[in-house]
């Protein structure tokens, strides 16, 4: 099975300035350093395509010495805060012609090489079971409300049921999307009609999206409560 990793990493993060390459714990080149090291250790991945418009990241990646790394200078119109994920899906497909695409992000630092290998194995098994793709999730089993009331339980039956009895919901954490290049072509999507939901624990599935996330993740790593 040919697997190509698509790693989008644009310049200009608005919520956490330079979050992709600013120092993180003992890593002077931060999240991009961690993620490229993790991905380079996965023999199941044939090629890593880093799609970025960040010159600092490009400079670091060029000196990384990773043999199966391809650096793609992304056009600026595909690297703004207004760029849609749908456009990025099309972009990924133009770069990857065949096989399977593993889409991941540097903002999931605690998804290490061992975890990726387990995900890839699960993907292979899920294809044999009738699924056509895989995406990672974080489990939610708590009181979830919308503006008009509860979403995952009925207060007319029981106002405050035990959380253990609530249905389990899946929150997409964007750590991994795995699907064939054909799905990208035919469905214009990074998942198919029958995705396998692969749940991660809270630390593995952590996504650094806000300044507090960055600080908490650093603390977890410094305290050896998380591994990269």
% of the chain surpassing 90 pLDDT: 93
**Domain membership flag for residue 160:** no
Strands 169-180 and 100-104: antiparallel
Specify if 133 maps to a domain: yes
Rounded distance between C-alpha atoms, residue 38 and residue 26, angstroms: 16
- Through-space distance between the first and last CA atoms of the chain, rounded to whole angstroms: 26
The rounded distance, in Å, linking the Cα atoms of 100 and 215 is 34
Which pLDDT score is estimated for 27?
97
Residue 102: the pLDDT is 98
Token reading at 132: 């056509």
What are the beta bridge partners of residue 197?
Answer: 135
Question: Would 144 be classed as within a structural domain?
Answer: no
CATH number of residue 205's parent domain: 3.90.550.10
**How large is the average pLDDT for residues 27-45?**
98
Does residue 162 form part of some domain? no
User: Residue 165 domain-assigned?
Assistant: no
**At which residue do the structure tokens 């999730």 appear?**
137
**Confidence check: pLDDT of 173 > 90:** yes
Q: Tell whether the model's pLDDT for residue 42 goes beyond 80.
A: yes
Q: If pLDDT is split at 50, 70 and 90, which confidence band does 143 have?
A: very high
Q: Domain residues for 69?
A: 3-137+172-222
Positive or negative: CA dihedral 37, 30, 226, 107: negative
Asked if the structure places residue 107 within a domain, the reply is: yes
Structure confidence by residue, pLDDT tens digits, 48-97 = 999 999 999 999 999 999 999 999 999 988 888 889 999 999 999 999 99
- From CA 42, how far away is CA 120, in angstroms rounded? 10
* Confidence at residue 201, expressed as pLDDT on a 0 to 100 scale: 96
Is 161 contained in some domain?
A: no
Tell me how many domains the chain contains: 1
Q: What is the mean pLDDT of residues 19-38?
A: 97
Does residue 212 belong to any structural domain of this protein? yes
């Amino acid at each position: 099975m040919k697997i190509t990793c698509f790693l989008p990493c644009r310049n200009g993060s608005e919520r956490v300035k330079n979050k992709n390459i600013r120092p993180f714990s003992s890593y002077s080149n931060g999240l991009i350093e961690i993620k490229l090291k993790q991905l380079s250790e996965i023999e199941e991945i044939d090629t890593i395509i880093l799609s970025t418009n960040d010159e600092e990241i490009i400079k670091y990646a060029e000196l990384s010495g990773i043999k199966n790394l391809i650096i793609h200078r992304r056009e600026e119109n595909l690297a703004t805060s207004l760029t849609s994920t749908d456009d990025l899906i099309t972009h990924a497909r133009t770069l990857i012609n065949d096989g399977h695409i593993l889409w991941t992000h540097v903002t999931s630092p605690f998804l290490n090489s061992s975890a990726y290998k387990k995900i890839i194995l699960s993907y292979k098994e899920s294809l044999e079971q009738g699924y056509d793709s895989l995406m990672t999730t974080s489990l939610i089993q708590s009181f979830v409300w919308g503006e008009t009331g509860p979403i995952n339980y009925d207060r007319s039956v029981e106002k405050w049921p035990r959380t253990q009895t609530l249905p389990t919901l899946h929150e997409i954490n964007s750590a991994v999307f795995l699907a064939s290049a054909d799905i990208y072509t035919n469905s214009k999507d990074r998942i198919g009609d029958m995705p396998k939901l692969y749940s991660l624990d809270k630390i593995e599935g952590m996504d650094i999206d806000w300044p507090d996330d960055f600080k908490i993740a650093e603390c977890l790593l410094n305290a050896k409560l998380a591994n990269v």
